[in-house]
Amino acid sequence: MHYEAVIGLEVHAQLLTRTKAFCACSTAYGAPPNTQVCPVCLGLPGALPVMNGEAVRLAVRTALALSCTLRTVSRFARKNYFYPDLPKGYQISQYDEPLSERGHLDVEVGGATKRVGITRVHMEEDAGKNVHHEGVSVVDLNRSGVPLVEIVGEPDLRSAAEAAEYLRSLRDVLMFAGVNDGNLEEGSFRCDANVSLRPAGEAKLGTRVELKNINSFRFVERALAHEIARQQAVLDAGGRVVQETRGWDENEGVTKSLRSKEEAQDYRYFPEPDLPPLVVDDAFVAQVQSTLPELPRAKRERFVAELGVSAYAAQVLTGHPRVAALFEEAATLHGQPARLAAFVQSEVLRDVVTHGLDARIPVSARQVAGLLRLVDAGAISGKQAKEVYAKIVGSERAPEDVVAELGLVQVSDEGVIEAVCRQVIADNPRQAEQLRAGKASLMGFFVGQVMKQTKGSANPRLVNDVLQRLLG
Amino acid sequence: MAGPTIDRSLVLHVARLASLSLDEGEADRLAGELATIVEYVAQLGALDTRDVPPTAHVFLDRMPLRADEPRPGLTREQALAQAPSVEGEGFAVPAFVERK
């Protein structure tokens, strides 16, 4: 039978605050274990949580970026369970009155736009981290209490590839919104998936399996593809899918059962008595809305519609907030966005290294714009521009200085160019004959020969003009 | 308002959620004791609360918000001093396999 996969993703994203959700401990990544802790995040008796206003602001921003409806009064709840990395014995989360609901994210899949529903975006705190040794596990509580948003997606995804694309788009939105650093390796963007199969055309959902620990885009696609195939095999053999939680084992390339429905957690949620209701009034929401940065999709559309950049280039240039910012600044300085886009794409991107929200871009917008202006002015050729670019990368040098130092000057002296053209024609009499006989494609050959003779310094427009005149 | 029936199986279920192991006999004894407590609280059900909104907090105003400014907390030595068992730089617990 032909089955259709139904996938819904839950993403936990760390909010970009300096301090934890309910205490003033630092959230800086990579500190030595248990050095960013206090009575609140250690769960010591009598310690009380005080909400981080910036976490609220970033959570509201996340909700707005995903077009969610905000709840003016939302509540926190205790989610009770026992785990070594959860010192209080409960996680402060939101349950039946979450911060926001009913949003959506538009995702490009297979050349079409697909709208994926967002069930809810709510706030909660992270747990600690466990390191497992022989015979003992060791808990580091630096991460305990770090503010997260949980973004619950509707089961609108139909393949592993769609799920991966949704995740990429979501990560981009969060990064451009400035709420999350998108760093999967450091665990600040994590994903769980609910997967089920149903006969194609059937409306009723099949039994779902929750898939945990799929924390890279590569894993997501592989883990989901594997799980879909596993369920398909079970159904094809006449069996029934068991409702359970499974984990992805990257080493073996399989999903493994973690717990069955019978062992499923009963979290006994109840209202968090230590935190009064969270109020986000209209004025607060309007203020957050007014500072919401332009999101990648809007940026792409604007690059194409207003700046005349190709759809492909717009896609590439909005791959990272810092790259988009460099392009926009350079395009403003230079004035010809489409040309600048081509140069950034072909030359600059090669040298860009990104790590979450950080990006190492070894050249400034001013340098790139200045370099292209030299080409515009006819001072250097496009080929020489690449040579100059190689010299300014990683330095703060002005392109003009490098041009002067290298003694690069574009040859725009028609007499000089004509002499070279005549020589090239004389050296290639057979091709010249064919060109005159109508084989127009040979013009490129002659232009190439002249550029070669002049080591790329000849003004290509003039070369073309002169060759047309001599061979036309 | 009728409370839940507190029987042996419910006590065992709650005990499991609370990671408590009960001796033989304890479940039955607790079922009786808990039923008495729940019955006592259930007296509140006699009040007419149709016009009273559900309240989870004594402090009814909005949540106060804190500035996002880091402050030093405890040192690792102070933090680990509270722990029954320590290994290297962290809290030691019996070895376990991640299940979440």
C-alpha distances in Å from residue A145, one per residue of A29, A32, A373: 13, 17, 51
pLDDT in tens, A354-368: 888 888 998 988 888
ipTM of this predicted structure: 0.80
Average pLDDT over every residue of A282-294 = 95
Please identify, among A254, A287, A320, the residue that sits at the C-terminal boundary of a domain.
A287
- Chain B contacts to A (CB-CB under 8 A): 13, 17, 19, 56-57, 59-71, 73-76, 79-80, 82, 87-100
Contact at CB, A34 and B91, closer than 8 angstroms:
yes
Claim to verify: residue A189 and residue A270 sit in the same structural domain: yes
Average pLDDT over residues A101-124: 95
Q: Can you list the alpha helix ranges (DSSP code H) found in A110-216?
A: 160-177
H-state helical runs in A90-138: none
pLDDT of residue B51: 87
User: Which chain B residue's Cα is nearest to A275?
Assistant: B63
On the question of pLDDT at A44 being above 90, the answer is yes
Distance from CA of B17 to the nearest CA of A (A): 7
For residues A202 and A139, membership in a common domain is answered with yes
A33 and A13 in a common domain? yes
| Range(s) of the domain holding residue A337 | 294-406
Asked if B73's CB is within 8 angstroms of A38's CB, the reply is yes
Choose, out of A42, A246, A259, the residue to mutate when testing the contact with B (most B CBs < 10 Å): A42
Closest Cβ opposite residue A84 in set B71, B75, B93: B93
Kindly tell me if the per-residue pLDDT of A50 is higher than 90.
yes
Work out the minimum CA distance from B44 to partner chain A, whole angstroms.
19
Averaged pLDDT for residues A24-47: 96
pLDDT tens digits along A236-253: 999 899 998 898 888 888
Sign of CA dihedral A303, A304, A307, A310: positive
CA A324 to CA A337: how far, in whole Å? 12
Quickly list DSSP for A335-357: S-HHHHHHHHHHTGGGG-EEETT
Task: Check pLDDT > 70 for residue B59.
Answer: no
Q: Which of A236, A258, A287 is the last residue of a domain?
A: A287
The residue in chain B having the minimum alpha-carbon distance to the alpha carbon of residue A192 is B100
Q: Are residues A62 and A106 in the same domain?
A: yes
Residue A227 has pLDDT above 50, yes or no: yes
The domain boundary, picked from A249, A271, A287, lies at A287
Say yes or no: A99 and A19 in one domain. Answer: yes
Q: What does pLDDT average to over chain A?
A: 90
What number is the average pLDDT over the span A271-288?
Answer: 94
- Give the three-class secondary structure for A114: strand
User: In whole angstroms, what is the distance from residue A325 CA to residue A294 CA?
Assistant: 11
What is the pLDDT, as a whole number, of residue B3?
A: 57
Cβ atoms of residues A22 and A50 within 8 Å: yes
- Min Cα–Cα distance to chain A from B68, Å: 6
- Whether residues A14 and A146 share a domain: the answer is yes
Same domain as A223, residue A94 = yes
Classify residue A249 by its DSSP letter: E
Q: How far is residue A51's CA from residue A21's CA, in Å, rounded to a whole number?
A: 6
Residue B62 vs residue A40, higher pLDDT: A40
Classify A187 as helix, strand or coil. Answer: coil
Number of structural domains found in chain A: 3
Answer whether residue A213 shows pLDDT above 50. yes
Pairing of strands B90-94, A51-52: unpaired
Same domain membership, residue A391 and residue A274: no
Closest CA to A235 of A199, A191, A280: A199
* CATH number of the structural domain spanning residue A450: 1.10.10.410
* Cα–Cα distance list, B13 to A91, A262, A268, A274, B27 (Å): 21, 12, 12, 27, 10
d(CA A357, CA A167): 16
Does residue A408 or residue A45 have the better pLDDT? A45
- The whole-number pLDDT of residue B1 equals 44
Q: How many CB pairs under 8 A join A and B?
A: 138
Least confident span in A60-64, A108-112, B2-6: B2-6
> Whole-model pTM?
0.83
Q: Phi then psi for B17, rounded to 5 degrees?
A: -60, -35
A148-186 pLDDT, tens per residue? 999 999 999 999 999 999 999 999 999 999 999 998 888
Q: Is B96 helix (H, G, I), strand (E, B) or coil?
A: coil
In the block, which residue shows the tokens 């002499």? A419
| Chain B residues within 8 A of A190 when measuring between CB atoms | none
Give the gap in angstroms from C-alpha B25 to the nearest C-alpha of chain A. Answer: 24
More confident residue, A78 or B16: A78
A433-454 confidence digits (pLDDT tens)? 898 888 888 888 998 888 888 7
